[in-house]
Chains A and B, each alone.
Chain A
Amino acid sequence: MSRPPSPRQAGLRRRRVLGAAAAAGLGLRLQAVQAVSAVPSLAEIERQWARGRPVTEGRVTLEVPPLVENGNTVPVRVRVDCTMTGTDRVLELALFNEKNPQREVLQLAFGPACPRAQADARIRLATSQQLVALARLADGSQWSHHVDVVVTLAACIET
């Protein structure tokens, strides 16, 4: 059109241009932020661990007290139902959490001198959350156990 845009039209066009620019800029910034603070979710780290192969819930048991007196030290036991002979042995056992600053908790490898795929440890839990134990066996099968834990805190804040 030959007429110059009305102030309103100009304003609208300016806003569209600025909006597009902002969106583009925002998009770039968002990408940068994601790259820096990329702590994976529990689901993502399970996917990474699985290496594209199926994981079935079962055969591995993660024992955690359902109600934890203090998240600083939580006794846990992880065990896999297998004979530890031939291909029926655990190659690796991994423990991940949902809400700590970092997903990894413990990763275990069992050697030839180990007769039983079972280990106890003491872990820290920042808050009530889900834990998962993942086991990879020599026969290629992969197993998991998901457990929800409630964490209570000491009642009095010490100085």
Chain B
Amino acid sequence: MRAAGRAAGRAMAAARRRRGRGGRARTGALVLVPLLAWAAAAQGQPAGAPAAAASAPDNRRSGLSYMGPALQAMQRDDGQNPGLLAVQDGAQLWRTPAGAAAKACADCHGDAARTMRGVAARYPAWDTAGGRALDLAGRVNACRVRHQQAPAWPVEQAELLALSAYLGLQSRGLPLAPPDDARLAPLRAQGQALWQQRLGQLNLACMHCHDQRAGRRLGGALIPQGHATGYPSYRLEWQGLGSLQRRLRGCVSGVRAEPWPADAPEWLALEAWLAQRAAGMPVETPAVRP
């Protein structure tokens, strides 16, 4: 706890420097005091429960419901949703020939509105040809490499986000449907274990905020349950579209842990677990979040 206290002191000083002048603007630094109190209280508590059993009432809520009416409208209204700028790009990329093979996605997959309906809702999924699990962006990259003979994109590449958003939109409103595939079980179990594992100088697990304290406040911000139903999401903090990995990375560095490298299996494990945890909730891509 002493090490955490010193680290919190340094983090608070850093937060003050970053936030600059202004009384209320230091909410970020004040956050860490309640975080430490929670961390202390959370010691020795039992591990968080997995996704609600079939007979129990479904208390799951999307992050959408935690936002005020103006931000909810920003997501729901296609005339307002800034994520649709990227979706527009994705629609064009879908039709654009790429790579040494000079093939467009549409050349194999036709009209995405028809052929890609429900696809994003089923990811992460097992890729038989590659012998491993893939998330949707990984699937797009696998197609690029195998069929278009084009290089794989880095995870936050604008084109990859645009295509992922475009594909996600084709599943918007459909329930998340993680495949009933035994080959994904070890990955999901690893993800669940990571969800419950204390990380970083603040020594907190994801579950401490998002399972045990959802609906309460961290600083001035409401803590959502953390269901990954709308990625890639337009996040106001980023003033742009970003991937689920980027959001998870933000939390990992937020508890003062070293984020895993971009290609680390931990991210996919967490995604697979989150998809199972949110199974049945409607896809919201592209979501808008604070």
Contact = CB atoms under 8 A, between A and B. Distances in A.
In the complex they form, whether A and B have CB atoms below 8 Å apart is answered with: yes
A67 B68 contact: yes
Contact of A152 (B14, B18, B221, B255): B221
Interface in A52-102: 65, 67, 69-70, 72-73, 75, 99
A156 interface: yes
A156 B25 contact: no
Interface in B20-59: 22, 24-25, 27-28, 31
Given A153-B221, A158-B237, A69 B22 contact: no
A126 interface: yes
Interface in B50-77: 67-71, 73-74
Contacts of A99: 22
A72 B236 contact: yes
B244 to A, nearest CB: 14
Interface string A121-159: 000001110000000000000000000001111111111
Contacts of B237: 70, 72, 154, 158
Contacts of A73: 236, 239
B250 interface: yes
B242 to A, nearest CB: 10
B251 interface: yes
Interface of A is mostly: loop
B219 interface: yes
Contacts of A65: 68-70
Nearest to A156: B254
Contact of B250 (A151, A152, A153, A156): A156
B198 interface: no
Contact of B28 (A67, A150, A155, A159): A155
B250 A158 contact: yes
Contacts of A158: 237, 249-250, 253-254
Nearest to A154: B237
A156 B27 CA distance: 10
Interface string B159-175: 00000000000000000
B24 to A, nearest CB: 5
Interface string A34-60: 000000000000000000000000000
Nearest to A69: B290
Which of A72, A150, A152 lies at the interface centre, i.e. has the most chain B CB atoms within 10 A of its CB? Answer: A152
Contacts of B221: 69, 152-155
B97 interface: no
Given A70-B290, A72-B236, A72-B237, A153 B220 contact: yes
B251 A156 contact: yes
A13 to B, nearest CB: 42
B19 interface: yes
Contacts of B74: 75
Given A70-B290, A73-B239, A158-B254, A153 B28 contact: yes
Given A153-B19, A155-B218, A70 B236 contact: yes
Contacts of B254: 155-158
A128 B31 CA distance: 17
Given A157-B254, A159-B253, A152 B236 contact: no
Interface of A: 65, 67, 69-70, 72-73, 75, 99, 126-128, 150-159
Given A69-B68, A157-B11, 20 more contacts: A65-B68, A65-B70, A69-B67, A70-B236, A70-B237, A75-B74, A127-B22, A127-B24, A150-B24, A152-B220, A153-B27, A153-B219, A155-B220, A155-B223, A156-B250, A156-B251, A156-B253, A157-B14, A157-B28, A157-B254
28 contacts: A65-B69, A65-B70, A69-B71, A69-B290, A70-B236, A72-B236, A72-B237, A72-B239, A126-B22, A126-B25, A127-B25, A151-B24, A151-B25, A153-B28, A153-B221, A155-B31, A155-B220, A155-B221, A155-B254, A156-B31, A156-B250, A156-B253, A156-B254, A157-B11, A157-B15, A157-B18, A157-B253, A158-B254
